[in-house]
Amino acid sequence: MKKLIRKLIIKSEILFQFYYRYIFRPRANSIQNFLNNISKSQEIYFVQIGANDGIYNDPLYKYIRRDKWKGVLIEPQKKIFNRLRNNYKNVEGIFFLNAAIDCKSGARPLYKISFTDADWASGLSSFIREKLEDNINSGYVHRKAKES
């Protein structure tokens, strides 16, 4: 039920604006509370590296959309990048870059879970293979795959 309500809020601009302007109350002393307060008081410009699909586990999405932040969203995974563009298709002032950010130029492998495009899996991509292996060895990938 909670997921359905969340989807309805995200899909409807009127519900989205109403919820995030009048109902949403972040916990005191949290990063969300800080972002909520600063976002309402000034114009924000940002760069988000590893933007994923722009919604799943994204602490900025509600503010970008509600308060018309302007900025750059960077995501290296092609399928996820397409979802990102689609999720922000009606938001002005956003620029998209389908690339990975690294400390040196050139190409190198980006490791990811290949058997699913589920939201939880798309956030696990990394240049560091061991990070992905740690998620597999800890049982996290098995647990999340079983849930979905």
Rounded Cα–Cα distance for residues 74 and 79 (Å): 13
CB 100 within 8 A of CB 50: no
| pLDDT over 90 at 67, yes or no | yes
CB 36 within 8 A of CB 26: yes
Q: Within the chain, where are the H helices? A: 2-11, 13-18, 31-41, 61-67, 78-87, 119-122, 129-137, 140-147
pLDDT range class, residue 36, cuts 50, 70, 90:
very high
Nearest 5°: the CA angle 105, 108, 113 is 135
Q: What's residue 44's pLDDT?
A: 96
Q: What's residue 49's pLDDT?
A: 95
The token duo for 50 is 């590893």
Q: What's residue 114's pLDDT?
A: 87
Nearest 5°: the CA angle 33, 54, 14 is 70
- State pTM to two decimals: 0.87
Place of tokens 């932040």: 69
Give the distance from CA 95 to its chain's centroid: 15
Q: What's residue 46's pLDDT?
A: 97
Q: What is the mean pLDDT of residues 39-49?
A: 94
Domain ranges of the chain: 106-148
Mean of the per-residue pLDDT values of the chain = 92
List pLDDT tens digits, range 19-30: 999 999 999 999
Q: What's residue 89's pLDDT?
A: 92
CB 44 within 8 A of CB 63: yes
Q: What is the mean pLDDT of residues 7-18?
A: 91
pLDDT range class, residue 45, cuts 50, 70, 90:
very high
| pLDDT over 90 at 51, yes or no | yes
